């Protein structure tokens, strides 16, 4: 008797993937990738993997040596993942950090999907095309670095990077100056105090909070005038409740969004790297959003 296609698929050994970090128990990645696998029919097994703070490299090598196919990397290991990867994508090189790894022909590949996750969430899920727009990026750490190249590829008119330390903002812009020139994107960077000179009504169309202020429940020092009606205020963080930044932006009249869609979209890009299949993100995002709303109602 010939097995049916469904039976054959169920007998296919699942390829192993993990998300690695410390801590890791809170990660929503297993639920996201399980939904992607079910939707696409890909034989994927995805779990959390806790690595010792001083044992990231050994943990990753043991995973690959044991037949693992790929992994996502979260805090605090993205810089170590960058150093471990033997072949980097251009966006990983630009970000200086890796959040997605896989092994192919014995070579460890590294990518950074955070930035493309951000731009896809803004352009697709939030229906806000970035071409010709003026973008204000708050912060100049790893999150901002990962965002720069994908943001430039969307061909905005201008990207302003504001940071507590002005030199850090200048360093990020210098790193992507060639790409910005190729795409015709104007770059400007400075300290938060310089934002006061941008408070005209056309100063920005999109304000992205890439600082860690939301983790501490603090508000980044952005003038209220930059968050008025017609502006999209986006926080890379997400939670059951709006962040302090999003609450402030809403009070100023801006349209707001957290980074939950970015989480789903960057996972979809990682899934595509691994499997060559791009899953639909809208139903997964809707499920996660409902779960967050349920948490907020408790």
What is the Cα–Cα distance from 239 to 288, expressed in whole angstroms? 11
* DSSP letter, residue 121: I
Query: Do 95 and 114 meet the contact criterion of CB atoms below 8 Å apart?
Result: yes
User: Any known ligand binding at 67?
Assistant: no
User: Any known ligand binding at 4?
Assistant: no
Query: Do 259 and 238 meet the contact criterion of CB atoms below 8 Å apart?
Result: yes
Containing 151, the helix (H) or strand (E) segment is helix 142-153
**Residue 158: is it exposed, middle or buried by C-beta count within 10 angstroms (0-12/13-18/19+)?**
middle
**Taking the C-alpha atoms of 138, 142, 144 and 146 in order, what is their torsion angle to the nearest 10 degrees?**
-170
User: Any known ligand binding at 28?
Assistant: yes
User: Any known ligand binding at 141?
Assistant: yes
User: Any known ligand binding at 112?
Assistant: no
Q: Identify whether 133 is a catalytic site residue.
A: no
Instruction: Provide DSSP, 221-288.
Output: ---GGGG-TTPEEEES---SS--HHHHHHHHTT-EEE-SHHHHHHHHHHHHHHHHS-----HHHHHHH
User: Any known ligand binding at 165?
Assistant: yes
User: Any known ligand binding at 164?
Assistant: yes
User: Any known ligand binding at 29?
Assistant: yes
Containing 289, the helix (H) or strand (E) segment is helix 282-297
User: Per the structure block, which two tokens stand in for 19?
Assistant: 């998300």
Query: Residue 256: beta bridge partners?
Result: 233
User: Any known ligand binding at 143?
Assistant: yes
User: Any known ligand binding at 166?
Assistant: yes
Mapped to the 3 state alphabet, what secondary structure does 154-223 carry? CCCCEEEEEECCHHHHHHHHHHCHHHHHHHCCEEEEEEHHHHHHHCCCCCCCEEEECCCHHHHCCCCCCC
User: Any known ligand binding at 87?
Assistant: no
Which is catalytic among the residues 78, 133, 229, 247? 78
User: Any known ligand binding at 183?
Assistant: no
Q: Tokens 């790409």 sit at which residue?
A: 179
Query: Do 109 and 101 meet the contact criterion of CB atoms below 8 Å apart?
Result: yes
User: Any known ligand binding at 158?
Assistant: no
Binding site as annotated, residues: 27-29, 74, 99, 114, 139-143, 163-168, 236, 238, 259, 266
Active site residues: 78
Binding site as annotated, residues for shikimate: 27-29, 74, 99, 114, 238, 266
Binding site as annotated, residues for NADP(+): 139-143, 163-168, 236, 259
């Amino acid at each position: 008797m010939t097995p049916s296609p469904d039976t054959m698929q169920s007998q296919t050994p699942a390829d192993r993937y993990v998300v690695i970090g410390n801590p890791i128990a809170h990660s929503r990645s297993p639920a996201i990738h399980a939904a992607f696998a079910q939707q696409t029919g890909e034989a994927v097994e995805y779990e959390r993997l806790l690595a010792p703070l001083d044992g990231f490299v050994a943990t990753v090598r043991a995973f690959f040596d044991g037949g693992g196919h790929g992994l996502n990397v979260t805090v605090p290991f993205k810089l170590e993942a960058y150093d471990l990867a033997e072949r980097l994508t251009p966006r990983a090189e630009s970000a200086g950090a890796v959040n997605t790894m896989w092994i192919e022909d014995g070579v460890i590949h590294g990518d950074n999907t955070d930035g493309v996750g951000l731009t896809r969430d803004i352009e697709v899920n939030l229906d806000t095309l970035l071409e010709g727009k003026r973008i204000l990026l708050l912060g100049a750490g790893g999150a901002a670095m990962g965002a720069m190249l994908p943001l430039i590829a969307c061909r905005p008119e201008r990207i302003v990077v504001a940071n507590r330390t002005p030199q850090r903002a200048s360093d990020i812009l210098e790193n992507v100056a060639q790409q910005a020139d190729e795409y015709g994107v104007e770059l400007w960077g400075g300290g938060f105090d310089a934002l006061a000179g941008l408070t005209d009504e056309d100063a920005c169309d999109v304000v992205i909070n890439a600082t860690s202020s939301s983790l501490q429940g603090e508000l980044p020092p952005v003038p209220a005038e930059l968050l008025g009606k017609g502006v999209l205020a986006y926080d890379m963080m997400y939670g059951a409740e709006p962040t302090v930044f999003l609450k402030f932006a809403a009070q100023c009249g801006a349209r707001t969004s957290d980074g939950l869609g970015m989480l789903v979209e960057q996972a979809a890009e990682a899934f595509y790297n691994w499997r060559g299949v791009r899953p639909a993100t809208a139903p997964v995002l809707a499920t996660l959003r409902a779960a967050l709303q349920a948490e907020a109602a408790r």
